Amino acid sequence: MNETQPNGRVWHLTVAGGEAKGPDSVLTPVSPVDGRPLEPVASSTEPEIRAAVARARVAQEEWRLVPLSERATALKRAAKEMLRRREEAIELAARELGKVEIEGLFNEALGPLETVGGWIKVVAGATATRSVRLNPLSFPRKSAEVELVPRGVVGVIAAWNFPVAGLYRSSFPALLTGNAVVVKPSEYTPRSSAWFVQCLAAELPDGLVQLVQGAGAVGTALIDAGIDACVFTGSPSSGRKVQVRCAERGIPASVEMGGKDAAIVLADCDLARTTAGITHWAVSNVGQSCGAIEVAYVDRRIADALVARLADAWTRLRLGSDRFADLGPLGNRRQLDIVATQVAEARSQGAKVVCGGEAAGPTQGGLWFAPTILDDCTDEMSVVRDETFGPVLAIIRVAGADEAIRRINAGRYGLGASIWTGDLDRGRRLASRLDVGVVTINNHSFSGAIAALPWSGTRETGTGIANGPEALATFVRPRTVVVDAATGFEPYWLPYDHVLWDLGSLLAEAQLGKLGQVWKLPLLFRERSKTLKKFFK
């Protein structure tokens, strides 16, 4: 399928398979801006998915032998081409998600080269072969080393909220460590993710990067098609199914299942910076980020002042689809329904609507929702308990940090949290008590874009790790190589006799520090050698 973009360029959407085969084999997303249908995209069939995995496996057999320096060079070329063609990524994200263009620039298009560079350093440092010293008494003339080898074909089941950038932190390390990749984008953003795959594949060996399209059933079929590892980003319900499916097939799965990030706002914070920071991290990308601030636990002594500042700022944010709008529409109808339901429920349970609280936007038929602040919220409300993924901030007034930490640690999710305070030492002490994967002091989840820093969580966020050397366990496995330069027989080998028993007993005593009889060791070793030579003559 070819499509002409507004800038006049033609880009080619490739997918495992080809022509749509009926009404159940196409994706029919609509524009979140005005509700108009976008051109259908063919969904991949099971035979096509198996064929894509098979092609990737053939390409990976040679790619795994390519030195890291050459892999890095190829990925840098691809990243530079993505930067040169960044307007295409921005336009695609605007079409499929209604993403405002300036966020498309910063959140989707700007990061590939920096991300590749970060991953090259991480991979080079973490995958070097490691020598292991062996006890020369127990293992004479033996040496060992541990090398990390690629798993093979990695399946990437992607989310829709960052359809390009969301693929950086899984595809790049997978390829740098010698794997092939098969990407399954979200059914809401098939074109944006396909653009990324095409740019990547153009600079890599044929077949190494594959694309399959479709909804949840295609993700299941991809796991069943024989991949060697899986990276998933999405909802808890889908993530648990992925974990089970992968476990049944004995393959590792890195699964991130969302978040309910909270900000702890202490009385000594810089109110102006805190207001600006919470505003950005609550409604950037229309709040559609697993690391968005969705709840603020605010010290009662400054709550009135903070809420007033937030309300003043949020009522001046501008919704629109032009380049410099502050907020675009929500990404799909299902997400709009979740946001509207949570807000309505909170109002019925006593939350105070400070601003927003309803669907509103500049165009008819779009999936718009006004930036919303809800004050006087409680833990029982779904807007506090469940992931919202929209431009909504729940305010909970607390007595102080202890109460905030207790309530955060009791929540369903444990991805990230931030602490806003003028006392950095106190902030660090409080951070150590938070049962989450990422804590930021006086800022929020920007570290998710840094390849060297692990991005992970607890509880229903899942056990998946993105970024950092800790994430590489999904893409590589250890292989131990042991070399024995000894000649003759090992004293511990069959057949057994009383001499071997005495040898083992003496070694045990030596480990306990009883060295009075250690002089007997050479005699026992020689006697064992004679026994073995006689037995195996």
Between vectors from CA 416 to CA 414 and to CA 420, what angle results, nearest 5°?
130
Catalytic residue numbers? 256, 290
Instruction: Show contacts of 304-307: CB within 8 Å, 24+ apart.
Output: 305/271, 306/265, 306/271, 306/274, 306/275, 307/354, 307/373, 307/375, 307/395
Contact 213, 41 (CB under 8 A): yes
Residue 136 lies in a domain: yes
pLDDT at 22: 36
Ramachandran area for residue 291 (φ above 0: left; ψ -120 to 50: alpha; else beta):
alpha
Q: Are residues 253 and 271 in the same domain?
A: no
Question: Chain-wide mean pLDDT for the chain?
Answer: 94
pLDDT tens digit sequence for 308-361: 999 999 999 999 988 899 999 999 999 999 999 999 999 999 999 999 999 998
Residue 466 lies in a domain: no
184's tokens? 């399954």
Q: Are residues 228 and 271 in the same domain?
A: no
Q: Are residues 248 and 334 in the same domain?
A: no
Residue 460 lies in a domain: no
Q: Is the pLDDT of residue 23 over 80?
A: no
378's tokens? 């409680």
Q: Are residues 76 and 215 in the same domain?
A: yes
CA distance 386 to 436: 16
363's tokens? 């165009």
436's tokens? 């989450």
pLDDT at 454: 97
Helix, strand or coil, per DSSP, at residue 421? coil
DSSP state letters, 289-314? STTSEEEEEEEHHHHHHHHHHHHHHH
Range of the domain at 278: 261-452
Between vectors from CA 274 to CA 268 and to CA 276, what angle results, nearest 5°?
160
Helix, strand or coil, per DSSP, at residue 42? strand
Which CATH number goes with the domain that contains 142? 3.40.605.10
Task: Provide the pLDDT confidence category of residue 3 given band limits of 50, 70 and 90.
Answer: very low
Task: Provide the pLDDT confidence category of residue 382 given band limits of 50, 70 and 90.
Answer: very high
Total domain count, the chain: 3
Average pLDDT over residues 204-231: 98
144's tokens? 């060992």
pLDDT tens digit sequence for 131-158: 999 999 889 999 999 999 999 999 999 9
Residue 33 lies in a domain: no
- Cβ neighbours, 10 Å, residue 380: 9
CA distance 537 to 531: 10
321's tokens? 């689809």
Which CATH number goes with the domain that contains 310? 3.40.309.10
Q: Are residues 116 and 143 in the same domain?
A: yes
Residue 283 lies in a domain: yes
Q: Are residues 139 and 211 in the same domain?
A: yes
Question: Widest CA span of the chain, in angstroms?
Answer: 94
Task: Provide the pLDDT confidence category of residue 7 given band limits of 50, 70 and 90.
Answer: very low
Exposure of 71 in the CB half-sphere (CA atoms within 13 A): 25
* Residue 423 one-letter amino acid: D
